[in-house]
Each structure stands twice: as structure tokens, then as C-alpha cells.
Amino acid sequence: MSMVTGAGSGIGRAIALLFASEGSKVVVTDVNDKGGEETANMIRGNGGDALFVHADVSRASDCENAVREAVKRYGQLDILVNNAGIDLPRAKPSADFSEDEFDKVISVNLKGAWLMSKYAIPEMLRRSKGIIVNIASVAGIRPLPLAMPYSVSKAGLIMLTKSMAVEYGNRGIRVNAIAPGWVSTPMAVRAASAYGTTYEEFTKQFLQRIPLGRFADPTEIAKVVLFLASDDSSYMNGAVVVVDGAISIA
């Protein structure tokens, strides 16, 4: 069975739905109860098996509880996707961010992935088997303009991926990351307003820089997550898979 954090919206929802359509039982977690319940209901409506558990990934007690509930319901935890993430309400230069803004983004995007892994890994070690996929960003490789805390959080997530891959690879756990470029989700819509523009203007501006000429659909990210969560990627460990339409090299 699999657990997806931040699965109440966007990319996380697409991952949860795809996993369920492939026959996986899915523990949907999110801080947003409405979105999380909706995703779990969509899975059940399609004949799948899902459990929603409220979890703010920046809180250790929530992460511990989510793993406990998952194991109580399904007996084991095979796959963890650390997808939950937040962006910044305003784009600005590094020195202008407040301490609170910096702490919040780091505590969800970076600490949250570590905390959920911290409680999931002992369950995986119990069976010497497990897969973790972290949803980073190309911003963790090449800075997103005027979004330093976000870029730093994603760079940290990439290093968390590599550290855990090296530590747990010989104990049956593979850990990989995906670095998406722009994906059409509510986060991308919020990003437009962070840059003080409309979504239409924002997409027009960025589309010129994306060689594929469009934003990704969340399902296009989910399919790569599915590959990393399957035995088809059995020799991949500590990798960062860029799925960005080539924006990061253009």
C-alpha cells in the first residue's frame, strides 16, 4: 500500500488516483481535510480502497499518527510519496523575506518530508522493503527567481533524497526524487499572484521559456512517480528525475 502526502489537490491527488487505478490501497494525507476526503472518495467511487488521515507534515505527531493509522488499517507501508509542499505569497529578493516566511516553507517542504520518512522508514525496515519518492522541483537545481526559501527547501529535499538513498539502499529501501517544472495546479495559479500578475499573463511569460510550450498536466508527473514506485525502476536509487519540458536547460 502507498501513502501520499498533500494528496488533497494537484499533483498529490493525481498520484493517489493513478496509484489506486493500478490497484494500490492508498492512504491519502493532507492538512486540507476537505480536499483529502474528496480524493479518498474519488478513489472509493472508482472501486478502490483509500483511507484519509489528516496530517500536517510539519508536525511530528501528525506524521507519526499517519504512519500508525496506515499500518493499523493495511498492516504495512510499501510506498511513501512526500508530495506536500507550499509556495510563498509574494516573490521578493532574499533579504526581504521574514523569518516566519522562511521557517514555514522549510518546515513543510523540507522538514515535513524528513518527518514523514522518519516514521515510515522503521515500518519499511521491518520488512526490508520500501520505496520513497520525494516531489522536489527544478527550483531545487536552478533557483526560481525571487523565491529563495522555496528553492532552498527543494535543494534540501534533493539532498535529503540522496542522503537517505545512500543510508538505506542496502537495507531494501530505494529513495528517489522528481524535479517538476511548471505544472497546472492551484499552486501555479497562486504563483502568478505572488509575481503580481494574472495567471494568463504568467503562463504567457513562462510558456515562451518552456521548449515544450506548455505547463505539465499533474498526471504527467504522476506517471513518472508510478515508474519510480514500481519494480521497473529497481536499479534507481538517489536519482533526481527532471520532468520539466526542458525549461531548466533552455
DSSP states of 66-129 = HHHHHHHHHS---EEEE------SS---GGGS-HHHHHHHHIIIIIHHHHHHHHHHHHHHHTT-
Which position among 145, 186, 196, 211 is part of the footprint of ligand NAP (CB under 6 A)? Answer: 186
Do 121 and 174 meet the contact criterion of CB atoms below 8 Å apart?
A: no
The stretch near ligand NAP (CB under 6 A) out of 2-10, 20-28, 66-74, 200-208 is: 2-10
Q: Whole-angstrom Cα distance, residue 33 to residue 200?
A: 29
| Residue 17 grid cell | 488516483
The torsion defined by the Cα of 225, 230, 234 and 237, in degrees rounded to 10, comes to: 30
- Matching residue, cell 500536517: 56
121 or 139: CB nearest ligand NAP: 139
| Distance in Å, CB of 203 to ligand NAP, minimum | 11
For CA atoms 82, 25, 181, 38, the dihedral sign is negative
One-letter identity of residue 152: V
Candidate list 119, 150, 195, 235, residue with the active-site label: 150
149 or 169: CB nearest ligand NAP: 149
Which position among 182, 233, 237, 242 is part of the footprint of ligand NAP (CB under 6 A)? Answer: 182
Length of the chain: 250
The stretch near ligand NAP (CB under 6 A) out of 4-12, 66-74, 224-232, 233-241 is: 4-12
Query: Is residue 69 close enough to count as binding ligand NAP by CB under 6 A?
Result: no
Binding mask 110-149 for ligand NAP (x = CB under 6 A): --x----------------------x-x------------
Q: Is 150 a catalytic residue?
A: yes
Interface positions with ligand NAP (CB under 6 A): 5-6, 8-12, 30-32, 35, 55-58, 83-86, 108, 112, 135, 137, 180, 182-183, 185-188
Q: Which residues are annotated as catalytic? A: 150
